[in-house]
Chain A
Protein backbone atom coordinates (compact mmCIF):
# COMPACT_ATOMS: atom_id res chain seq x y z
CA UNK A 1 0.00 0.00 0.00
CA UNK A 2 2.85 2.36 0.89
CA UNK A 3 4.50 1.65 -2.44
CA UNK A 4 1.28 2.40 -4.35
CA UNK A 5 0.75 5.61 -2.41
CA UNK A 6 4.31 6.70 -3.08
CA UNK A 7 3.94 5.94 -6.79
CA UNK A 8 0.69 7.87 -6.98
CA UNK A 9 2.26 10.84 -5.23
CA UNK A 10 5.15 10.72 -7.68
CA UNK A 11 2.74 10.55 -10.61
CA UNK A 12 0.84 13.54 -9.21
CA UNK A 13 4.03 15.55 -8.73
CA UNK A 14 5.25 14.68 -12.23
CA UNK A 15 1.89 15.74 -13.67
CA UNK A 16 1.91 19.06 -11.85
CA UNK A 17 5.53 19.64 -12.91
CA UNK A 18 4.70 18.81 -16.53
CA UNK A 19 1.69 21.13 -16.62
CA UNK A 20 3.44 23.99 -14.83
CA UNK A 21 6.56 23.62 -16.96
CA UNK A 22 4.61 23.69 -20.21
CA UNK A 23 2.55 26.65 -18.99
CA UNK A 24 5.64 28.59 -17.94
CA UNK A 25 7.48 27.97 -21.23
CA UNK A 26 4.49 28.98 -23.39
CA UNK A 27 3.74 32.05 -21.29
CA UNK A 28 7.35 33.29 -21.33
CA UNK A 29 7.71 32.67 -25.07
CA UNK A 30 4.56 34.64 -25.87
CA UNK A 31 5.47 37.52 -23.57
CA UNK A 32 9.06 37.62 -24.87
CA UNK A 33 7.90 37.73 -28.48
CA UNK A 34 5.53 40.57 -27.70
CA UNK A 35 8.23 42.45 -25.81
CA UNK A 36 10.49 42.29 -28.88
CA UNK A 37 8.23 44.80 -30.60
CA UNK A 38 9.39 48.37 -30.02
CA UNK A 39 6.25 49.86 -31.50
CA UNK A 40 4.25 52.05 -29.11
CA UNK A 41 1.15 51.41 -31.18
CA UNK A 42 1.33 47.62 -30.97
CA UNK A 43 -1.46 47.64 -28.37
CA UNK A 44 -3.80 49.62 -30.64
CA UNK A 45 -3.19 47.13 -33.42
CA UNK A 46 -3.85 44.17 -31.09
CA UNK A 47 -6.79 45.54 -29.11
CA UNK A 48 -8.72 47.42 -31.79
CA UNK A 49 -7.92 45.27 -34.86
CA UNK A 50 -6.83 48.22 -36.97
CA UNK A 51 -6.14 48.15 -40.67
CA UNK A 52 -2.75 49.27 -41.92
CA UNK A 53 -4.20 52.53 -43.37
CA UNK A 54 -5.87 53.43 -40.07
CA UNK A 55 -2.71 52.66 -38.18
CA UNK A 56 -0.67 54.86 -40.51
CA UNK A 57 -2.96 57.85 -39.91
CA UNK A 58 -2.91 57.21 -36.15
CA UNK A 59 0.88 56.94 -36.24
CA UNK A 60 1.08 60.40 -37.80
CA UNK A 61 -1.15 61.80 -35.04
CA UNK A 62 0.90 59.95 -32.43
CA UNK A 63 4.21 61.26 -33.74
CA UNK A 64 2.80 64.79 -33.86
CA UNK A 65 1.52 64.58 -30.30
CA UNK A 66 4.64 63.15 -28.63
CA UNK A 67 6.80 66.35 -28.77
CA UNK A 68 3.93 68.36 -27.22
CA UNK A 69 3.51 65.75 -24.52
CA UNK A 70 7.25 65.70 -23.76
CA UNK A 71 7.29 69.49 -23.57
CA UNK A 72 4.47 69.53 -21.01
CA UNK A 73 6.15 66.75 -19.03
CA UNK A 74 9.38 68.72 -18.96
CA UNK A 75 7.62 71.88 -17.80
CA UNK A 76 5.81 69.97 -15.05
CA UNK A 77 9.04 68.28 -13.96
CA UNK A 78 10.80 71.68 -13.82
CA UNK A 79 8.00 73.19 -11.75
CA UNK A 80 8.02 70.20 -9.41
CA UNK A 81 11.77 70.58 -8.93
CA UNK A 82 11.24 74.28 -8.17
CA UNK A 83 8.55 73.37 -5.65
CA UNK A 84 10.91 70.88 -4.01
CA UNK A 85 13.59 73.54 -3.64
CA UNK A 86 11.06 76.02 -2.32
CA UNK A 87 9.91 73.59 0.36
CA UNK A 88 13.49 72.71 1.28
CA UNK A 89 14.45 76.36 1.69
CA UNK A 90 11.35 77.15 3.74
CA UNK A 91 9.61 79.25 1.10
CA UNK A 92 6.54 81.28 2.02
CA UNK A 93 3.08 79.78 1.89
CA UNK A 94 2.12 82.18 -0.89
CA UNK A 95 5.08 81.19 -3.06
CA UNK A 96 4.33 77.49 -2.48
CA UNK A 97 0.67 78.01 -3.34
CA UNK A 98 1.58 79.86 -6.51
CA UNK A 99 3.96 77.10 -7.65
CA UNK A 100 1.37 74.43 -6.88
CA UNK A 101 -1.14 76.45 -8.90
CA UNK A 102 1.29 76.65 -11.83
CA UNK A 103 1.83 72.89 -11.71
CA UNK A 104 -1.92 72.33 -11.61
CA UNK A 105 -2.46 74.67 -14.58
CA UNK A 106 0.24 72.91 -16.56
CA UNK A 107 -1.46 69.60 -15.78
CA UNK A 108 -4.81 71.00 -16.93
CA UNK A 109 -3.28 72.09 -20.26
CA UNK A 110 -1.47 68.78 -20.60
CA UNK A 111 -4.55 66.68 -19.88
CA UNK A 112 -6.69 68.80 -22.18
CA UNK A 113 -4.18 68.23 -24.97
CA UNK A 114 -4.10 64.52 -24.13
CA UNK A 115 -7.88 64.22 -24.34
CA UNK A 116 -7.89 66.08 -27.66
CA UNK A 117 -5.34 63.61 -28.94
CA UNK A 118 -7.43 60.65 -27.81
CA UNK A 119 -10.45 62.11 -29.59
CA UNK A 120 -8.44 62.64 -32.77
CA UNK A 121 -7.17 59.06 -32.63
CA UNK A 122 -10.65 57.68 -31.98
CA UNK A 123 -11.96 59.46 -35.10
CA UNK A 124 -9.46 57.53 -37.21
CA UNK A 125 -10.89 54.21 -36.03
CA UNK A 126 -14.14 52.51 -37.03
CA UNK A 127 -16.93 54.15 -34.90
CA UNK A 128 -17.46 51.25 -32.49
CA UNK A 129 -13.76 50.73 -31.93
CA UNK A 130 -13.21 54.47 -31.64
CA UNK A 131 -15.84 54.78 -28.90
CA UNK A 132 -14.31 51.82 -27.08
CA UNK A 133 -10.82 53.33 -27.39
CA UNK A 134 -12.00 56.68 -26.05
CA UNK A 135 -13.78 55.13 -23.08
CA UNK A 136 -10.78 52.94 -22.32
CA UNK A 137 -8.29 55.80 -22.49
CA UNK A 138 -10.44 58.07 -20.32
CA UNK A 139 -10.72 55.28 -17.79
CA UNK A 140 -6.99 54.54 -17.86
CA UNK A 141 -5.88 58.15 -17.58
CA UNK A 142 -8.51 60.25 -15.79
CA UNK A 143 -9.96 57.17 -14.11
CA UNK A 144 -6.79 56.62 -12.12
CA UNK A 145 -7.35 60.01 -10.47
CA UNK A 146 -10.98 59.20 -9.83
CA UNK A 147 -10.05 55.96 -8.12
CA UNK A 148 -7.67 57.78 -5.78
CA UNK A 149 -10.28 60.46 -5.04
CA UNK A 150 -12.97 57.86 -4.40
CA UNK A 151 -10.71 55.89 -2.08
CA UNK A 152 -9.90 59.08 -0.18
CA UNK A 153 -13.57 60.13 -0.03
CA UNK A 154 -14.85 56.70 1.04
CA UNK A 155 -14.01 56.99 4.77
CA UNK A 156 -15.69 60.42 4.89
CA UNK A 157 -18.79 59.04 3.18
CA UNK A 158 -18.88 56.11 5.58
CA UNK A 159 -18.71 58.51 8.56
CA UNK A 160 -20.49 61.69 7.39
CA UNK A 161 -20.27 63.34 10.79
CA UNK A 162 -16.51 63.20 10.85
CA UNK A 163 -16.21 66.66 9.30
CA UNK A 164 -18.77 68.36 11.46
Chain B
Protein backbone atom coordinates (compact mmCIF):
# COMPACT_ATOMS: atom_id res chain seq x y z
CA UNK B 1 0.00 0.00 0.00
CA UNK B 2 1.34 3.37 -1.01
CA UNK B 3 2.02 5.91 1.69
CA UNK B 4 0.09 9.09 1.33
CA UNK B 5 1.98 12.39 1.27
CA UNK B 6 0.37 13.26 4.60
CA UNK B 7 1.90 10.20 6.33
CA UNK B 8 5.32 11.08 4.90
CA UNK B 9 5.03 14.55 6.38
CA UNK B 10 4.11 13.04 9.75
CA UNK B 11 7.27 10.94 9.79
CA UNK B 12 9.28 13.98 8.86
CA UNK B 13 7.67 15.96 11.63
CA UNK B 14 8.29 13.22 14.17
CA UNK B 15 11.96 13.12 13.21
CA UNK B 16 12.25 16.85 13.63
CA UNK B 17 10.55 16.73 17.02
CA UNK B 18 12.95 14.01 18.25
CA UNK B 19 15.89 16.07 17.20
CA UNK B 20 14.55 19.15 18.95
CA UNK B 21 14.40 17.21 22.31
CA UNK B 22 17.75 15.56 22.67
CA UNK B 23 17.90 12.91 25.43
CA UNK B 24 20.42 13.86 28.09
CA UNK B 25 23.28 11.47 28.70
CA UNK B 26 22.75 9.33 31.82
CA UNK B 27 25.22 9.87 34.65
CA UNK B 28 27.87 7.26 35.29
CA UNK B 29 26.61 4.28 37.31
CA UNK B 30 22.98 5.32 36.92
CA UNK B 31 21.72 1.84 36.09
CA UNK B 32 23.62 0.25 38.95
CA UNK B 33 22.22 2.85 41.32
CA UNK B 34 18.68 2.12 40.15
CA UNK B 35 19.12 -1.61 40.78
CA UNK B 36 20.65 -0.96 44.18
CA UNK B 37 17.71 1.19 45.16
CA UNK B 38 15.24 -1.40 43.94
CA UNK B 39 16.97 -4.10 45.94
CA UNK B 40 16.97 -2.01 49.12
CA UNK B 41 13.25 -1.27 48.65
CA UNK B 42 12.35 -4.94 48.76
CA UNK B 43 10.95 -5.97 52.17
CA UNK B 44 13.30 -8.20 54.15
CA UNK B 45 12.26 -11.64 55.30
CA UNK B 46 12.01 -10.48 58.93
CA UNK B 47 9.73 -7.60 57.95
CA UNK B 48 7.37 -9.89 56.05
CA UNK B 49 7.30 -12.35 58.96
CA UNK B 50 6.46 -9.50 61.33
CA UNK B 51 3.72 -8.25 58.99
CA UNK B 52 2.19 -11.72 58.76
CA UNK B 53 2.33 -12.13 62.49
CA UNK B 54 0.72 -8.73 63.00
CA UNK B 55 -2.03 -9.46 60.53
CA UNK B 56 -2.73 -12.84 62.11
CA UNK B 57 -2.91 -11.22 65.53
CA UNK B 58 -5.25 -8.49 64.31
CA UNK B 59 -7.42 -11.08 62.63
CA UNK B 60 -7.54 -13.19 65.80
CA UNK B 61 -8.50 -10.25 68.01
CA UNK B 62 -11.00 -8.67 65.71
CA UNK B 63 -13.47 -11.51 65.58
CA UNK B 64 -16.64 -9.99 67.12
CA UNK B 65 -17.13 -12.82 69.59
CA UNK B 66 -13.54 -12.68 70.84
CA UNK B 67 -13.56 -8.90 71.00
CA UNK B 68 -16.74 -8.94 73.08
CA UNK B 69 -15.43 -11.62 75.43
CA UNK B 70 -12.14 -9.72 75.80
CA UNK B 71 -13.80 -6.41 76.55
CA UNK B 72 -16.29 -8.01 78.96
CA UNK B 73 -13.42 -9.74 80.80
CA UNK B 74 -11.56 -6.47 81.08
CA UNK B 75 -14.68 -4.70 82.33
CA UNK B 76 -15.27 -7.34 85.01
CA UNK B 77 -11.60 -7.29 86.04
CA UNK B 78 -11.70 -3.50 86.21
CA UNK B 79 -14.85 -3.56 88.33
CA UNK B 80 -13.41 -6.12 90.73
CA UNK B 81 -10.11 -4.31 91.08
CA UNK B 82 -11.93 -1.01 91.45
CA UNK B 83 -14.11 -2.47 94.19
CA UNK B 84 -11.06 -3.71 96.10
CA UNK B 85 -9.34 -0.33 95.73
CA UNK B 86 -12.58 1.47 96.60
CA UNK B 87 -13.00 -0.55 99.79
CA UNK B 88 -9.41 0.23 100.79
CA UNK B 89 -10.04 3.91 100.09
CA UNK B 90 -13.26 3.82 102.09
CA UNK B 91 -11.41 2.22 104.98
CA UNK B 92 -8.75 4.92 104.85
CA UNK B 93 -11.40 7.64 104.87
CA UNK B 94 -13.20 6.02 107.79
CA UNK B 95 -9.92 5.71 109.69
CA UNK B 96 -9.10 9.38 109.06
CA UNK B 97 -12.56 10.30 110.31
CA UNK B 98 -12.18 8.33 113.53
CA UNK B 99 -8.69 9.69 114.09
CA UNK B 100 -9.85 13.26 113.54
CA UNK B 101 -12.53 12.71 116.18
CA UNK B 102 -10.44 11.09 118.91
CA UNK B 103 -7.01 12.58 118.25
CA UNK B 104 -7.17 15.90 116.43
CA UNK B 105 -3.86 17.13 115.03
CA UNK B 106 -3.29 19.55 117.91
CA UNK B 107 -3.12 16.68 120.38
CA UNK B 108 -0.49 14.70 118.54
Query: Measuring CB to CB, which residues of chain A are less than 8 angstroms from any residue of chain B?
Result: 1, 3-5, 7-8, 11, 14-15, 18-31, 33-35, 37, 40-44, 46-47, 62, 65-66, 69, 72-73, 76-77, 80, 107, 110-111, 114, 117-118, 137, 140-142, 144-145
Q: Which of B63-99 contact A (CB under 8 A)?
A: 67, 70-71, 74-83, 85-87, 89-91, 93-95, 97-99
Q: Which residues on the B side are within 8 Å of A20 (C-beta)?
A: 78
Task: Please list the 6 inter-chain residue pairs (A to B) with the smallest Cβ-Cβ separation, ordered nearest first.
Answer: A30-B86, A26-B82, A22-B78, A34-B90, A43-B94, A23-B82
Size class of the B contact interface (CB-based, 8 Å): 35 or more
Contact with B75, one of A19, A77, A107 (Cβ below 8 angstroms): A19
Q: In the complex the two chains form, is A19's CB within 8 Å of B98's CB?
A: no
Q: In the complex the two chains form, is B98's CB within 8 Å of A27's CB?
A: no
Q: Check: B101 CB closer than 8 A to any chain A CB.
A: yes
Stretch in contact with the other chain, from B25-33, B34-42, B51-59: B51-59
Q: Which residues on the A side are within 8 Å of B13 (C-beta)?
A: none
Contact with B61, one of A11, A76, A114 (Cβ below 8 angstroms): A11
Q: In the complex the two chains form, is B78's CB within 8 Å of A21's CB?
A: yes
Query: Measuring CB to CB, which residues of chain B are less than 8 angstroms from any residue of chain A?
Result: 50-51, 54-55, 57-59, 61-62, 67, 70-71, 74-83, 85-87, 89-91, 93-95, 97-99, 101-104, 106-108
Alpha-carbon distance A118/B98, docked complex (angstroms): 12
Q: In the complex the two chains form, is B108's CB within 8 Å of A33's CB?
A: no
Other than A4-B57, A22-B82, A62-B102, give 8 A-B pairs with Cβ distance below 8 A: A3-B58, A11-B61, A22-B75, A26-B85, A30-B90, A34-B93, A40-B101, A80-B106
Q: A19-B74, A21-B78, A27-B85 are in contact. Are A69 and B95 (CB under 8 A)?
A: no
Q: Which residues on the A side are within 8 Å of B76 (C-beta)?
A: 22
Would you give 15 A-B contacts (Cβ < 8 Å), ordered by A?
Answer: A18-B78, A19-B75, A22-B76, A22-B78, A30-B82, A30-B86, A30-B89, A34-B86, A34-B89, A37-B94, A42-B94, A43-B91, A47-B94, A69-B104, A144-B108
Q: Which residues on the A side are within 8 Å of B67 (C-beta)?
A: 11
B interface SS class: helix
Alpha-carbon distance A118/B103, docked complex (angstroms): 10
Q: Which residues on the A side are within 8 Å of B106 (C-beta)?
A: 73, 76-77, 80, 107
